[in-house]
Homo-oligomer: A and B are copies of this chain.
Amino acid sequence: MASKRDEKAVTPQSEDFSAWYNDVVFRAELVDRGPAKGTMVIRPYGYRLWELIQADLDRRIKDTGHDNAYFPLFIPESYLRREAEHVEGFSPELAVVTHAGGKELEEPLVVRPTSETVIGEFMAKWISSHRDLPLLLNQWANVVRWELRPRMFLRTTEFLWQEGHTAHVDEADAMRETMLALDFYTDLARDVAAIPVVPGEKTPGERFAGAKRTFTIEGMMRDGRALQSGTSHYMGTNFAQAFDITYAAEDGQLTLAHTTSWGMSTRMIGAVIMTHGDDKGLVLPPRLAPYQVVIVPIGRGDAAEQVAAAARALAGDLAKAGVRVKVDDRPQVSPGFKFNDWEMRGVPVRLEIGPRDLDAGVVTMSRRIGDEGKEQIALDAVAGQLPGILDEFQDRLLARATEFRDSHTATVDDWPAFVTAVSSGWARVFHCGRVECEDDIKADTTATPRCVPLDAPAESGACVRCAEPSAYGKRVLFGRAY
């Protein structure tokens, strides 16, 4: 019997990473499958993760002078057609409202897949002078892109995101904005989600539909694949031309604005799961953990109430110290069940209090990952020490993920080494920049150019695939991607 897997255990990552992922998202009660194809229900534990991401990102957005607004869900089909590349990119994914109020509509309405077009229409209306620029807008919204192969959080028919949309007097100002937004994402990923993403520029073949330049942050998941976790686009004057976003410059000349857009979505939750999780379930970075500490009171009979009271008092102290804490006092399940449950849910620190602990004036602490095993801490020192322990845990996750990423990234110059590298991680290579060559590489290995890293040193050489001269003045990062 011992060899038969526990029904409740998750599939090991090493056996089937994709099955592991599905096991974890459902058993940790992050999501459920929605009734319409490819949709998801974000359950309270998953939604709390999103709220914590939102709070951090919203602060960054507001602190830099952006205003939140809200634009309509329904976009007339004709709007999308105004920017040729944009409509071509999104057409296959659109959901379309054809009937409303009991009648067939004269013009079908697209459920927004992104809002460049409708926001472009209003930018044109609101901007008249250079004094109206920069116009710095953001919205938190749901968007819909029909998915044939949905994966919870990663690719769902409906997802939640923020989309920043800004207009500027010239390319220099718009590019500053594009990079500022990319910095939001890089910093949030690293400092809050403990994901050492690589910020870089997409190659032309991987650009957003309608953008002149697309920047991305790429995270490495524990199966060696890349997950694009946020993007920032410089649109040039493409949307300004399509929607007539013009302003009177200081010299009175009517001038096209330069626009940007940038977004981060509920996909970020998938990045957290696949960067840190293990065969016991989720591992959450403290800064995003709905509960940073769970307290499990252990005691039966006479001791039960005394232990429960001590657990509640400790939770109060921890909350005062700014720690998000939960007392698991469910009477119907055993301590062992609770331990597994909170491990599955990725809570960074578990505290147990039993009658003997209470007599000795201590609690027993276990960290979700690490070699320390169980550790006793004086009850009256817990609230003082926990914030530091959580910071240390946060750093540990980032260090571990960085080590994983670096040990799975190879700098290679020949094709066999490339094939080996992208079978389990990323490859830094020279590339000719031709889309057909990217396609050949993808056909052979399923790897794609993830980005040209911003911080890569200036170098050049022969394309790893076709030996033509390299196009970017630096190495490109290739990997298989979600």
Contact = CB atoms under 8 A, between A and B. Distances in A.
A73 B47 CA distance: 15
A270 B42 CA distance: 30
Given A35-B75, A101-B146, A69 B93 contact: no
B332 A131 contact: yes
A101 B111 contact: no
Contacts of A157: 74, 100
A67 interface: yes
Nearest to A156: B72
A344 to B, nearest CB: 17
B67 A42 contact: no
A136 to B, nearest CB: 9
A44 B73 contact: no
Interface in A99-155: 99-102, 108-109, 111, 118, 121-122, 125, 131, 137, 141-142, 144, 146, 148
A97 B95 contact: yes
Interface in A1-42: 32, 34-36, 39-42
Contacts of A51: 68
A448 B95 CA distance: 39
A310 to B, nearest CB: 23
Nearest to A43: B69
Contacts of A47: 67-70
A303 interface: no
Q: Tell me whether chain A's interface is mostly helix, strand or loop, or mixed.
A: mixed
B32 A125 contact: yes
Interface string A42-54: 1110011011000
B43 A73 contact: no
Contacts of A41: 69-72, 122
Tell me which of A97, A118, A121, A137 has the highest count of chain B C-beta atoms within 10 A of its own C-beta.
A97
User: Which residue, A92, A125, A142, has most C-beta atoms of chain B within 10 A?
Assistant: A142
A160 interface: yes
A118 B148 contact: no
Contacts of A377: none
A41 B121 CA distance: 11
A298 interface: no
Nearest to A142: B73
A278 interface: no
A96 interface: yes
Interface of A: 32, 34-36, 39-44, 47-48, 50-51, 67-76, 79, 91-102, 108-109, 111, 118, 121-122, 125, 131, 137, 141-142, 144, 146, 148, 157-158, 160, 330, 332
Given A36-B76, A95-B109, A96-B98, 7 more contacts: A36-B74, A36-B109, A40-B72, A47-B70, A73-B142, A95-B101, A131-B330
20 contacts: A34-B118, A35-B72, A36-B76, A39-B74, A47-B67, A47-B68, A50-B70, A51-B68, A91-B102, A92-B101, A92-B102, A93-B101, A95-B109, A96-B98, A96-B100, A97-B97, A97-B98, A99-B108, A100-B146, A142-B142
Closest 5 CB pairs of A and B: A44-B67, A101-B146, A34-B72, A39-B72, A42-B70
